[in-house]
Amino acid sequence: MMPLFFLHMRDGSELTPDSEGSCLPDLAAARRYALECARQMMSEAVYHGNRIGLARTFEIEDDAGKLLLTFLFRDAIDFSEAAA
Amino acid sequence: MSILRPSNRLLARMDSEDLALLHPHLQCETLPLRRSLETRNKPIQYAYFLESGIASVVAAGAKDTCIEVGIIGFEGVTGLTLIMGGERAPHATYMQVAGKGLSIPAERLRHAMECSSSLRRLLLQFAHAFFLQTTYTALSNGRSKTDERLARWLLMAHDRVRSDDLPLTHEFLALMLGVHRPGVTGALKKLSSAGLIQNRRSSIHVLDRAGSKRPATAPMVQPKRN
């Protein structure tokens, strides 16, 4: 059985709790999933001209509610200006 | 089923001769959640005239990325490939909300369609309606925000469930809309703050159907059923 990871989204003082969780192999996979989710949500915001919310985070918790990792949305974007 | 008052809309609209062609071959079936009705690239064994529940047609891409391309409920029948003269299912079709239906073997349906031009016309009309649904799904997927697409999907499900409680998880909705789960959770929160739905554990309660049409129809006109 794969463990359950919960991705609660924090946006300033507002928290959107994850009530279902996702079954993923390990924390590295949960981080990759958070990365993909953040990219997808920010892409949509950019496309529609809405606030990107770079300071948002996913608080990744285990089944027991223990905080394992805080993923910053900003870390899902490559900000470099020109090819090295 | 009662032959006098079928709860499937297509059977209900058939004239008695067409219904008599199908009736000896129809079999009542209970269709639980996730029950497969068609498998991708496999010959279609049965078509199902649904009486309740929702069947979902799901296209699969590379690396098990999936997205729903259409839904069928009591207004229609599965097996559109058969109706249009094909044999193998191009996509997977399975139950996304448990229900009931009347199954008919593929060759029986094909034979009945060869015998009756009015039956053929009726079933092709439904195939066209399904095609329209799919085209609007494409428009919605390509041009609308997640909350608008979610509102549209919830309205389409609400049309078919005959209840204000839609037994749907976020995971399932994510598959339906082809987005990751947190995107659905955020969109549900938005619809919920607007007072359109109430987000419950494992179900979504529709509070304001008329209001839900606003985000759903912002970029498009909803195709009408029938």
- Condensed to tens digits (0 to 9), the pLDDT of residues B54-80 reads 999 999 887 767 888 999 999 999 999
Contacts of A71 in chain B (CB under 8 A): none
pLDDT category, B18, cuts 50, 70, 90?
A: very high
- B170:A37 CB<8 A: no
- One domain, residues B52 and B21: yes
Residue after which a domain boundary falls, among B139, B169, B192: B139
Q: What is the pLDDT of residues B149-194, one digit of tens each?
A: 999 999 999 999 988 899 888 888 998 888 999 999 999 999 998 8
Name the residue of chain B whose CA is nearest to A46's CA.
Answer: B145
Show the domain range for B92. 9-139
* ipTM value: 0.81
Query: Considering chain B, what percentage of its residues have pLDDT values greater than 70?
Result: 92
Specify if B204 maps to a domain: yes
Shared-domain flag, residues B129 and B173: no
Closest by CA position to B135, among listed B222, B40, B226: B222
Distance from CA of B31 to the nearest CA of A (A): 25
> Among B139, B154, B189, where does a domain finish?
B139
Given a cut of 90, is residue A70 above it in pLDDT?
A: yes
- Give pLDDT, residue A84: 64
Contact between chains at B181 and A22 (C-beta distance less than 8 A): yes
Residues A40/B164, Cβ–Cβ less than 8 Å: no
Are the beta carbons of A9 and B186 separated by less than 8 Å? yes
- Residue A27, chain B, CB below 8 Å: the answer is no
Contact state of A18 with B182 under an 8 Å Cβ cutoff: yes
What tokens does A77 get?
Answer: 């974007």
State the pLDDT confidence band at B49, using cuts at 50, 70 and 90. Answer: very high
Q: How many domains would you assign to chain B?
A: 2
Residue B44 lies in a domain: yes
Q: Which one of B139, B159, B176 terminates a domain?
A: B139
Does residue B61 sit in the same domain as residue B115? yes
Q: Are residues B168 and B188 in the same domain?
A: yes
What residues of B are in contact with residue A37 (Cβ under 8 Å)? Answer: 180-183
B218 belongs to a structural domain? no
pLDDT digits (tens, 9 = 90+) for A6-50: 999 999 999 999 988 999 999 999 999 999 999 999 999 998 899
More confident site: A43 or B202: A43
Residue B198, strand partner residues: B205
B38, B51 in Cβ contact below 8 A? no
Q: Is residue B223 part of a domain?
A: no
What per-residue confidence (pLDDT) applies to B209? 79
For residue B152, give the CATH number of its domain. 1.10.10.10
Q: Are residues B73 and B26 in the same domain?
A: yes
Whether residue A19 lies within 8 A of chain B, CB to CB, comes out as yes
What per-residue confidence (pLDDT) applies to B61?
Answer: 83
Residue B127 scores a pLDDT above 90: yes
Q: Under 8 Å CB-to-CB from B179, ≥6 apart: which residues?
A: A40, B146
Distance from the A5 Cα atom to the nearest Cα atom in chain B, whole angstroms: 12
CB-CB neighbors (< 8 A) of A22 in chain B: 171, 181
Instruction: Specify if B226 maps to a domain.
Output: no
